[in-house]
Amino acid sequence: MNCVECKKRDKKIKILQHQLSIFKQKCRELQNKLNELIAHPTMLAGIRGEELIANIAKAARAKQGAPYDIKLKNGEKVEVKFSKITYPNRTNSKRWVWNGITGERGDKGYDYLVLIGEKDNEYYKYEDDNSNYIFFLLRKKDIKQVIAPRGKRGYIFLNILPQTTRSPYGKKLWEFKVSKEEIYNFFENIKVTSQKVRANSKNGEK
């Protein structure tokens, strides 16, 4: 092997070593993120809810720290909250709890709120049997009707059985329950309307 070939080989080795170093760093970063999610299951559940609605709406998720989770094609913003089934005070009753509805200062800037609850098939047979989740869809102006006025961040809790829900806030929230098909149709209509608006705008410029 001549000197020229040796130099080429050494150069390739250095490049591969540099790339390997970058990949190792990325692996460490991803492992740290994974460890954080494993340590905070609520955060992981929240991300799952955001991804679910973002996929349904075919819209982009917001950057971390934004006062909303998803921005729709028409510019409207959506906040998504996901809740697993919880057992309050170690009782047999089951409920969902959605935290941080209004944000730290009560100034979250979104137009729609989607609440997603984990479904409990063994405990209650819901009308919408085609989905693993229960959905509630509210406009921002409707939130005051269903949120318990405790603290600035605000939270919503709901018994998973509508017939045993006693809180006036909970009873009102059940009026906003929608099926999986209704969620799909809602965001599909927004997408179609947005496409029509853009098309009309382009036609007007001609």
Provide the CATH number for the domain around residue 111.
3.40.1350.10
Predicted confidence at residue 47, as pLDDT, reads: 62
Predicted confidence at residue 119, as pLDDT, reads: 84
> Which among 91, 86, 203 has a CA at the least distance from the CA of 155?
86
143 and 79 in a common domain: yes
52 and 139 in a common domain: yes
More confident of the two residues 195 and 188 = 188
Identify whether 204 is part of a domain.
Answer: no
Query: Is the pLDDT confidence value at 25 over 50?
Result: yes
Q: How many other β-carbons are positioned within 10 Å of the β-carbon of residue 126?
A: 17
Rounded to two decimals, the pTM is 0.69
158 and 124 in a common domain: yes
Distances (CA, A) of 92 to 21, 63, 109, 163: 52, 38, 36, 16
In 84-99, which positions are buried (b, 16+ CB within 10 angstroms) versus exposed (e)? eeeeeeeeeebbbbbe
Identify whether 22 is part of a domain.
Answer: yes
23 and 111 in a common domain: no
The token pair that represents 196 in the structure block: 């029509």
Identify whether 203 is part of a domain.
Answer: no
Predicted confidence at residue 170, as pLDDT, reads: 92
46 and 10 in a common domain: no
Predicted confidence at residue 150, as pLDDT, reads: 61
175 and 96 in a common domain: yes
Tell me the range of 53-62, 111-120, 194-203 where mean pLDDT is highest.
111-120
Query: Is the pLDDT confidence value at 13 over 50?
Result: yes
Identify whether 205 is part of a domain.
Answer: no
27 and 50 in a common domain: no
Predicted confidence at residue 99, as pLDDT, reads: 85
Q: Specify the number of domains making up the chain.
A: 2
Predicted confidence at residue 192, as pLDDT, reads: 53
143 and 161 in a common domain: yes
pLDDT tens per residue across span 74-109: 889 999 999 988 887 766 778 899 988 887 666 678
Query: Is the pLDDT confidence value at 165 over 60?
Result: yes
61 and 9 in a common domain: no
Identify whether 145 is part of a domain.
Answer: yes
160 and 132 in a common domain: yes
- pLDDT, mean of residues 112-125: 79
96 and 148 in a common domain: yes
More confident of the two residues 197 and 183 = 183
> Which among 84, 1, 12 has a CA at the least distance from the CA of 43?
84
pLDDT tens per residue across span 144-154: 899 876 644 57
pLDDT tens per residue across span 34-82: 544 444 444 445 567 888 888 888 888 888 778 888 988 888 999 999 9
Predicted confidence at residue 131, as pLDDT, reads: 76
- pLDDT, mean of residues 155-168: 87
177 and 119 in a common domain: yes
Identify whether 7 is part of a domain.
Answer: yes
Domain span at residue 192 reads: 40-198
